[in-house]
Amino acid sequence: MEIPEKSDLIGGPAAPGSLVLGSASEFSADQRDMQRMGKKQEFKRNFNWFSSIAFTSCTMGTWEFVFINNFQSLVDGGRAGMFWSYCWVILGQFFVVLSLAEMSSMAPTAGGQYHWVSEFSPKSIQKVSSYASGWLSAICWQSFVASDCIFTAQLLMAAVSIGNPDFSPELWQTSLLAMLIGFMVASLNIWCSKKLPIIENFFVFLHIACFVIVMVVLGVTTQKVPARQVFLEVTDNGGNYPTLGLAVMVGQVSAMWNVCSSDAVAHISEEVKDASINAPRAMFWSFALNIPIAFAIMLMSAFTIPDVTAATTEYTFPFLSILASSSLPPAGAQAVTSLIVVLVFMISVSTFAATSRQCFAFARDQGLPASDWLRRVDPALNVPRNSCVLTLGFTIVMCLVYLGSSVAFNAILSIGIVALMGTYGLSTGCVLYRRLRWPETLPPVRWSLGRWGILVNAIGVSYASFAFFWSFWPIYYSPTPDTMNWAMAMFGIVFKTAQQLEFILFISSSRP
């Protein structure tokens, strides 16, 4: 295999009189990075270090999702299974975050993982691997927006039901409400894009303040189970896997989902000032600051769920069983649920922003149909408006699918965590390959793992592969079509579709 020239990785040989990376010039680090990657600066850089951390924290939605989205871990493993799976998932994800952070310093581009795969992979598989990574990243982020909007609608319906026990929301009501939420999220992203950093700063204040409120309320108004149940008693609560160890492996997917998405800031890195240092810092500090509070709310949930089986069979979200058994009046339970609604809505806004930028970047590199249309940036609004329209359209389609069949909806969105872990593993594996084979060809980096790079990357790609494997497993050992994990089928469909589209795009681009 031909050894890549270092100049190939830093924008090619410099022309006479041109600015060289690292030379004294008026170019900022951001301009040099964009020049090296061959990208045109199309966005205004409105995000500073703090708003970047705020944005990443809100997109991750750590403690919020840990509180509301622990169904699978409770069914397969119970309280103790949930506790221990979070321990190793957080540890494994930490090495992934470190690897992603360093890559975002090497190449701070909205493309994120697919660009890193393209830059660091062997030339023999560069195109196919980066194209696959781009499609996986696109489908997982698009699915996150749709699922966040549905989550928000379901939580709002749950809040209404608490005060009106006779009210039973229909699928069409939830679906229409999710569409309305999607329109609201898209409108904020399109018309308030320039104010997004300020909005994110406000969001992160709510993120922390509401955590304190919820922790205090649960601590004061609920009964606690013995510590032995939380730390030692692994239980099967309906998954029916042959061994408890296997059940916990399946149940850990909840934890994987709830602590991912640190790559969000990479997708807005072309709007971050001094991105090659602030983007990796945002990844690291958002994870380091949010994981402790996520772990705290997980422990509080484990101690305060009155009956795990009832929580997973009688309620839309297990946390509702905590509120129902607390000493809170219905109005108090409604207030807590309403806070969660607001928080998940703000997560949807942040996720939409990251998703539309990822779509823009992939289209800029001609990875999607109608790429020339999708890549357009509205200079007045400072937003990829057409990519926002596509993201909204995908969400509406998913809401219509949900209206027709919640099973079909869940089947389509089941690929989300699988696809994301796939991109994490691909990108981290490629930089590890380059680090082992030709370390001298790696681009200059301001946020470096140093001599620990090989070890961190190796653990990161191992964990991502481990998580990727378990993400395909169904919650129940003997699943029905309603409870089947359709991620494998969707994974195949996405790859087949991408393959056909690649052929069509190749034919179109080859015409005289």
* pLDDT tens per residue across span 443-479: 989 999 999 999 999 999 999 999 999 999 999 999 9
Segment among 117-131, 183-197, 328-342, 497-511 with least mean pLDDT: 497-511
Residues 293-314, mean pLDDT to the nearest whole number:
96
- Is residue 11 over pLDDT 60? no
- The answer, yes or no, to whether residue 512 has pLDDT greater than 80, is no
DSSP-assigned beta bridge partners for residue 442: none
47: three-class secondary structure by DSSP: strand
Give the rounded percent of residues in the chain with a pLDDT score beyond 90.
83
Helix axes 453-470, 415-437, angle to 10 degrees: 150
Mean pLDDT value across residues 249-255: 96
Residue 346, burial from CB neighbour count under 10 angstroms (0-12, 13-18, 19+): buried
Kindly tell me if the per-residue pLDDT of 7 is higher than 90: no
Angstrom distance (rounded) from CA 351 to CA 346: 9
pLDDT of residue 97: 98
User: pTM score, two decimals?
Assistant: 0.93
Q: Which residues contact 97 (CB under 8 A, 6 or more apart)?
A: 262, 283, 284, 287
**One-letter amino acid identity for 363?**
A
Is 508's pLDDT higher than 60? no
pLDDT at 294: 98
Residues in the chain: 512
Provide the pLDDT for residue 165: 85
Rounded to an integer, the average pLDDT of 64-76 is 96
Please tell me the predicted confidence (pLDDT) of residue 494: 82
CA triple 261-264-270, angle to 5 deg: 165
- Give the relative orientation of helices 196-221 and 275-304 as an angle to the nearest 10 degrees: 20
| Cβ atoms within 10 Å, residue 40 | 9
pLDDT at 305 over 90: yes
On the CB side of 474, how many CA atoms lie within 13 Å of its CA? 18
108 — pLDDT class (breaks 50, 70, 90): very high
pLDDT recorded at residue 9: 36
pLDDT-derived band at 255, boundaries 50, 70, 90 = very high
Q: What is the mean pLDDT of residues 8-30?
A: 43
Q: Which residue has the tokens 């709002």?
A: 156
* CA 373 – CA 350 distance, rounded (Å): 23
Q: What is the pLDDT of residue 17?
A: 33
399-418 pLDDT tens trace:
999 998 877 788 777 889 99
Contact 219, 299 (CB under 8 A): no
Q: How many CB atoms lie within 10 A of CB 310?
A: 15
pLDDT, position 13: 34
Could you tell me the domains of the chain?
A: 42-140+193-340+413-510 (1.20.1740.10)
Q: Considering Cα of 161, then 167, then 168, then 174, what sign does the dihedral take?
A: negative
Half-sphere exposure of 315 (CA within 13 A, CB side): 26
Give the amino acid at 505.
L
Share of the chain above pLDDT 70, in %: 93
On whether the CB atoms of residues 36 and 11 are closer than 8 A, the answer is: yes
Position 304, amino acid: T
